[in-house]
Chain A
Amino acid sequence: MALDSKIPKGPIKDKWTDYKNHINLVNPANKRHIDVIVVGTGLAGGSASATLAELGYNVKAFAYQDSPRRAHSIAAQGGINAAKNYQGDGDSTYRLFYDTVKGGDYRSREANVYRLAEVSANIIDQCVAQGVPFARDYGGLLDNRSFGGVLVSRTFYAKGQTGQQLLLGAYSAMNRQIARGKIEMFNRHEMLDVVVVDGKARGIIARNLVTGEIERHSAHAVVIASGGYGNVYFLSTNAMGSNVTAGWKVHKKGAYFANPCYTQIHPTCIPRSGDYQSKLTLMSESLRNDGRIWVPKNLDDVKAIREGSKKPTELTEDQRDYYLERRYPAFGNLVPRDVASRAAKERCDAGYGVNATGEAVYLDFAASFERYGKEQAKIQNISNPSEAKIKELGQEIVKAKYGNLFQMYEKIVDENPYETPMMIYPAVHYTMGGVWVDYNLMTTIPGCYAIGEANFSDHGANRLGASALMQGLADGYFVLPYTIGDYLADDIRTGKISTESSEFEAAEKEVTERIEFFINNEGTHSVDYYHKKLGKIMWDKCGMSRNAEGLEIAIEEISALRKDFWQHVNVPGTSTEYNEQLAKAGRVADFLELGELFAKDALVREESAGGHFREEHQTEDGEAKRIKEFQFVSAWEYKGEPKDAVLHKEELAYENIEVKERSYK
């Protein structure tokens, strides 16, 4: 099947408006007869469920957690971008569009990104109306901060808990519809397959995670909003339950999977401390507004620090290498995430890592304490303040901005970051790849949509900070509700979809058989045993930098590991009870397939772009080198084993932005 991205004709700034003017609408009386399933209740799924229900559709929403409010969007800290230009610093829809396309290393679809930038301002209006308590200045107006890869302040925030507040906003909008009976909420349920009838997505098979019951749910359209697949690495900043299963199941039923190798490794995470570790903790990128990143200039100092005979605070300025400021004077510590992460890896690989494992760099706030302290001393009219007083005043300001992050760091690492610099190292955080969608956010299965992190569409090969929340809410509140109507307009006479069809029967049988296999398999290794092994292969060979040789080995290793898994996995308990191991077995089984496709995608993409860094393709000073022939989206069609997947290319055209060397120098 040829890929049709269905981008509307016309100038980019008019595309979305023209599109909305010409789509089919469903009249309110007919919406009452149309059902929509939404899988996932994060920012994308939650906002989509609420808006679709408000429009009049009957929504069934599914979450594996015990409440929609717990989806992992809640953990996003730093903020949400919007082209409001409240700061009057030259921001505009075009500039947000430009920054996002450039930040994505020219591997995203122009029309989608422009639409995202266009609706971004609406999101802020919407959220304020819902009672989201964004940070404000003393005049009572909304405050902004700056994020990596941009030269304006367009990020709105609610302390270090912006994701939480936005999700609670979407959750509250859902609650209003749940109370009206327009959303039927299925908590502690997991989607285990999509049901395709006559070529259209018409329902799902779900498992009740408390009772183990397998359920059939029908609808006129199915929306996948299940987030990203960073947990293929075992260790990531994702929640423990985050998984690829919903996206992978639709892939296996005909939806193409795009750019699986585009993964974001976030630069400011707490370094790992031991083998028992279950997840990595991210600290907001906003810390880079005020923190300076460095490692010692001399290896002797590195050694002394690792041995504990020297403290980082004892090193003078000229003994420190502020490598981001050195390499990227224009953007300094605020270069995009992929650039910052690779630069940290480069220093650590060269032996300058500052913790016992050699995988950590410093994030230092001392300069900010001093700068803010002096400013405060002036404001408070303190003449000749002592150094200690300046530091104290400065720390108060930093505490007000990032207090919860400092507290979190101290709890985990057991060091006081007000007194000694933080140690950070990159960790897997977000996946730009995902289910392929057209301009309508529809997958290659008619009637099956993918929104938020679950799709691939807006961030290209690298996502800018504070853009995930923007995309999730844009898709859910403002884009999908239009595009899905255009499709559902043909379904007003269809009537209720029966769950008694042979298609539902077959899908349920497949799901049940797989569960019975896990329970009855007398294996020797736990599910985590396999997940950890997979994670290690992924991190070592498909991590921050990749090469052909490593990727080929990874493909073989993952394939062998998957075979071993299906022979020797041990799942305790029964299928008719709350059984977390059983749920996890299914998720890891899907990760074991995705992982191989991921490596294959990385192998085929013989260029470096954004988060995908191929060692064979770099400039003389170690920057990512894009190659013109790879200016396309890789969309993979399922054909059984991952090795048999077929590549389809969506060529990317840049008509409104000149494709340039991406420089932050």
Chain B
Amino acid sequence: MNLTLKIWRQVDAKDKGKMVDYKVTEISGSMSFLEMMDVLNEQLVNAGEQPVAFDHDCREGICGMCSMYINGEAHGPDRGVTTCQLHMRMFKDGDTITIEPWRAGAFPVVKDLVVDRSAFDRIQHAGGYISVNTSGNTQDANAIPISKQAADTAMDAATCIGCGACVATCKNSSAMLFVGAKVSQYALLPQGQVEAADRVRNMVAQMDLEGFGNCTNTGACEVECPKGISLDNIARMNRELMKASI
């Protein structure tokens, strides 16, 4: 198929940036979206132009690096996938596709479609861990039984890949789905109980400091999340925060 691409080009954080049109031809439906971008970039390099910068690494939907806002949706029109797993068979010959970076005050653009998500790391530094030494002198792994349900629910929260689609999607640029997922993972496990109150307080404080917005229960983040992280995690985080405040 032949496509028109409208892509956000921005030299660096200071540049104002603009949309630029490109054409690609002979795109196969079994290509991934990023392989289509590879075709464009090869074309640009061979024509002596600057290729489009975009983040990507594992190309199997788990590293959380890729981050394109495609036709007004984080990771594009398919559900439950990242951009690297989006396939061109989702598009039709002659389509015009608009590609933008994540848009959020807390995610400044580095170049073109690459944004700086270090705010997520800083929230994790504030409390996204259990304070256990890594010396190996811990008790036996089976010493504390954990119900299958708790372990499974914790796992569901822990599958968050930290891509930032939730923030990009949210009209308030809220990071609550991301933070809620991490808080929930630990809150659901006995190992996470000891520091639960401090953890949620510190992570939420850092989240606010980074300039992420509040949650107004729209639920768009849950729809666009490539890993299907549930809104329940936000509710659980709010409960944890309330508990911590009493």
Given contacts A75-B63, A86-B142, contact A131 B130 (CB under 8 A): yes
Given contacts A67-B118, A276-B28, contact A133 B185 (CB under 8 A): yes
Bound: A180/B44 CA distance, A = 45
B35–A278 touching, CB < 8 Å: yes
Residues of A close to B146: CB separation below 8 A: 136, 140
User: Interface digits, B93-133 against A, CB 8 Å rule (1 contact, 0 not)?
Assistant: 00000000000000000110010111011001110111111
Question: Cβ of A622 < 8 Å from any Cβ of B?
Answer: no
Bound: A175/B118 CA distance, A = 12
Residues of A close to B75: CB separation below 8 A: none
User: Interface digits, B181-193 against A, CB 8 Å rule (1 contact, 0 not)?
Assistant: 0000110010110
Question: Cβ of B231 < 8 Å from any Cβ of A?
Answer: no
Bound: A128/B151 CA distance, A = 11
Shortest C-beta distance, B187 to chain A (Å), equals 10
A141–B145 touching, CB < 8 Å: yes
* A136, A138, A478, A526 interface centre (most CB from chain B within 10 Å): A136
Residues of A close to B132: CB separation below 8 A: 126, 129-130
Bound: A241/B120 CA distance, A = 22
State which of A47, A273, A281, A578 has its C-beta within 8 Å of the C-beta of B53: A578
User: Interface digits, B129-167 against A, CB 8 Å rule (1 contact, 0 not)?
Assistant: 111111110111110011110011011001101100000
State which of A51, A140, A274 has its C-beta within 8 Å of the C-beta of B145: A140
B158–A133 touching, CB < 8 Å: yes
A50–B85 touching, CB < 8 Å: no
Question: Cβ of B208 < 8 Å from any Cβ of A?
Answer: no
Question: Cβ of A74 < 8 Å from any Cβ of B?
Answer: yes
Residues of A close to B147: CB separation below 8 A: 136, 140
Question: Cβ of A411 < 8 Å from any Cβ of B?
Answer: yes
B133–A175 touching, CB < 8 Å: no
A239–B57 touching, CB < 8 Å: yes
Q: Which residue of B lies closest to A171 (CB)?
A: B124
Bound: A185/B122 CA distance, A = 11
State which of A135, A172, A277, A282 has its C-beta within 8 Å of the C-beta of B124: A172
Interface residues of B, dominant DSSP: loop
B65–A70 touching, CB < 8 Å: yes
Shortest C-beta distance, B149 to chain A (Å), equals 9
Shortest C-beta distance, B137 to chain A (Å), equals 8
User: Interface digits, A229-273 against B, CB 8 Å rule (1 contact, 0 not)?
Assistant: 000000001011100000000000000000000000000000001
Count of A-B contacts judged by CB separation below 8 Å:
211
State which of B32, B162, B191 has its C-beta within 8 Å of the C-beta of A67: B162
Bound: A134/B34 CA distance, A = 32
Bound: A211/B147 CA distance, A = 49
State which of B50, B125, B134 has its C-beta within 8 Å of the C-beta of A477: B134
Given contacts A159-B155, A578-B111, A580-B51, contact A139 B145 (CB under 8 A): yes
Q: Which residue of A lies closest to B115 (CB)?
A: A66
Chain A residues with a Cβ closer than 8 Å to the other chain, count:
79
State which of A123, A134, A274 has its C-beta within 8 Å of the C-beta of B31: A274
State which of B42, B58, B136 has its C-beta within 8 Å of the C-beta of A75: B58
Question: Cβ of B74 < 8 Å from any Cβ of A?
Answer: no
Residues of A close to B152: CB separation below 8 A: 133, 136
State which of A125, A131, A581 has its C-beta within 8 Å of the C-beta of B51: A581
B192–A572 touching, CB < 8 Å: no
Bound: A210/B13 CA distance, A = 11
A277–B45 touching, CB < 8 Å: no
Shortest C-beta distance, A36 to chain B (Å), equals 15
State which of B50, B124, B140, B155 has its C-beta within 8 Å of the C-beta of A133: B155
State which of B117, B133, B139 has its C-beta within 8 Å of the C-beta of A54: B133
Residues of A close to B129: CB separation below 8 A: 130, 172-173, 175-176
Residues of A close to B53: CB separation below 8 A: 578, 580
Bound: A112/B53 CA distance, A = 43
Bound: A281/B84 CA distance, A = 11
Residues of B close to A69: CB separation below 8 A: 64, 121, 162
State which of B59, B120, B134, B138 has its C-beta within 8 Å of the C-beta of A173: B134
Residues of A close to B65: CB separation below 8 A: 65-66, 70
Shortest C-beta distance, A371 to chain B (Å), equals 22
State which of B55, B81, B111 has its C-beta within 8 Å of the C-beta of A66: B55
Bound: A285/B61 CA distance, A = 18
Of A161-169, A333-341, A490-498, which stretch is located at the interface?
A161-169
Residues of B close to A72: CB separation below 8 A: 57-58, 63
Given contacts A135-B151, A581-B51, contact A125 B130 (CB under 8 A): no
Residues of B close to A47: CB separation below 8 A: 134
A412–B85 touching, CB < 8 Å: yes
Question: Cβ of A407 < 8 Å from any Cβ of B?
Answer: yes
Shortest C-beta distance, A360 to chain B (Å), equals 14
Shortest C-beta distance, B31 to chain A (Å), equals 5
Residues of B close to A70: CB separation below 8 A: 57-58, 63-65
Q: Which residue of A lies closest to B130 (CB)?
A: A131
Bound: A241/B140 CA distance, A = 37
Shortest C-beta distance, B225 to chain A (Å), equals 14
Question: Cβ of A119 < 8 Å from any Cβ of B?
Answer: yes
Question: Cβ of A198 < 8 Å from any Cβ of B?
Answer: no
Given contacts A84-B141, A129-B138, A407-B80, contact A137 B45 (CB under 8 A): no
User: Interface digits, B76-94 against A, CB 8 Å rule (1 contact, 0 not)?
Assistant: 0010110001010100000
Which A52-81 residues have a C-beta within 8 angstroms of B? 54, 65-67, 69-70, 72, 74-75
Residues of B close to A86: CB separation below 8 A: 142
A572–B48 touching, CB < 8 Å: yes
Question: Cβ of B176 < 8 Å from any Cβ of A?
Answer: no
Q: Which residue of A lies closest to B47 (CB)?
A: A572
State which of A175, A240, A274, A412 has its C-beta within 8 Å of the C-beta of B128: A175
State which of A131, A281, A581 has its C-beta within 8 Å of the C-beta of B60: A281
Shortest C-beta distance, B46 to chain A (Å), equals 6
Bound: A173/B134 CA distance, A = 8
A278–B34 touching, CB < 8 Å: yes
A577–B12 touching, CB < 8 Å: yes
B45–A142 touching, CB < 8 Å: no
Residues of A close to B191: CB separation below 8 A: 128-131
Shortest C-beta distance, A471 to chain B (Å), equals 15
A50–B186 touching, CB < 8 Å: no
| In the complex, the 9 A-B pairs of residues with the closest C-beta atoms, listed nearest first | A140-B145, A172-B129, A122-B136, A129-B138, A133-B155, A128-B141, A133-B154, A179-B125, A70-B63
Using a CB–CB cutoff of 8 Å, the interface residues on chain B facing chain A are 11-12, 28, 30-32, 34-35, 38-39, 42, 44-46, 48-51, 53, 55-65, 78, 80-81, 85, 87, 89, 110-111, 114, 116-118, 120-121, 124-126, 128-136, 138-142, 145-148, 151-152, 154-155, 158-159, 161-162, 185-186, 189, 191-192
Given contacts A133-B189, A477-B134, A572-B48, 14 further A-B contacts (CB under 8 A): A54-B135, A72-B63, A131-B130, A131-B192, A136-B148, A158-B158, A161-B159, A178-B125, A239-B58, A477-B136, A526-B45, A528-B38, A578-B12, A581-B45
30 A-B interface contacts by CB (under 8 A): A51-B135, A54-B135, A66-B65, A67-B118, A75-B58, A124-B141, A126-B134, A130-B130, A131-B130, A131-B186, A134-B141, A135-B151, A136-B148, A140-B147, A159-B159, A161-B62, A161-B159, A173-B129, A175-B124, A175-B128, A187-B118, A210-B110, A276-B28, A276-B35, A278-B32, A411-B78, A414-B89, A572-B49, A578-B53, A578-B111
